[in-house]
Amino acid sequence: MTDISPARRLASWLLFLSMLVTVLMLWGGFVRISGSGLSIPDWPLINGSLLPPFSEAGWQTVFDTYKTTYPGLTDGMSLGTFETQFAIEYFHRFLAALVGIVFLVILLRARKTPELWRVVKKPLLTVAVLIIIQAGLGGMVVKLDLAAAVLAIHLGTAYVIFAILLWQALKLSRWGDPLRAGHEKAQRFGKEAVAASLIQVMSGGLVAGTGAGLVMNTWPKVGDHWIPPMSVLWGDWYSPVWANLWQNQILIQFFHRWWAFVVAGLVIHLVIRTMRMKLSPRGRLAMRATATILVLQILLGIGNLLMKVPPYMAIMHLSIAFLLYMVLIIVTHELAYEAS
């Protein structure tokens, strides 16, 4: 393919979609932190409609449905407060629908160029399946009252979708550029760091969903222990016993706080190895930003723990986690190519 413009145009579309997914993910975090996630108890409709209420009577009907479904959450809540929470959750659903529409446009555009379609067919069809799964998970989050395990999977799936879209955008933007000799080995360390970061993000979803950040608010020790007793880490009062993995607050927090240092080790290893390699300007920029972002993220994690997860810090922690994930993907991708 001598004309690289179709590849670059598709790369721009994919980059736009990946940024839209970014907004959707971060807004989803705001939905959870603001307590708005259950403000629309129906899914996918709202009292039989896709549109929000447009009259006072309509708002009162939806509010009554909310009060009936979640009586414990509405004590002292005014209609105005409910409308605000409703708007926050509704915008989240709107963004999700917009992502789906833009993705369909990209899919149709990609099919028009056979040579490009052969390259992006599998990744884009994988994203199509993941988007369908993600929509179902979104409904499960509502129907299961924000179950922590489903929240974590919902978050992790969003991150995987983003990674595939960004990777394909980067790949198409380097269409025709020469590959680095032995790039598979060079990329392995980056992929390990990305995978470890994804695990950390999902464990963070469990921390948020179970409220594990509100217990054992000490650091570096977990309460009085470096390693809590097994009787606490693996309680036999959970049924089934392996439910400890997604319900035991102490175990979840213990894993999240120490897996962070596994991520840190892999990231530092990646940075050290790439410092001596010639990278593209964007790869070099991402690599230089990685260490700073990592340190900031660890400090935010410790701050969240000691301060019992204030909302503003929780949002910052979520945002910086995503930023770290993104720069790791960029660095890993650029390791495949000779510096331009």
Q: What pLDDT digit, counting tens, does each position of 179-238 carry?
A: 887 778 779 999 999 999 999 999 999 999 999 999 999 999 998 899 999 989 998 888
3-state secondary structure of 222: strand
How many other C-beta atoms can be found within 10 angstroms of the C-beta atom of residue 325? 20
Expressed in angstroms, the distance from the first to the final Cα of the chain is 19
pTM for the model: 0.91
Give the CA-trace dihedral at 266, 269, 270, 274, to 10 degrees. Answer: 180
Query: What digits encode the pLDDT tens for the residues 72-111?
Result: 777 778 888 999 999 999 999 999 999 999 999 999 999 9
Contact 179, 337 (CB under 8 A): yes
Give residues with Cβ within 8 angstroms of 299, minimum separation 6. none
Q: Which of 22, 18, 24 is nearest to 123 (CA)?
A: 18
What stretches of 174-243 show up as alpha helix (H) in DSSP? 183-210, 230-233
Give residues with Cβ within 8 angstroms of 227, minimum separation 6. 233, 254
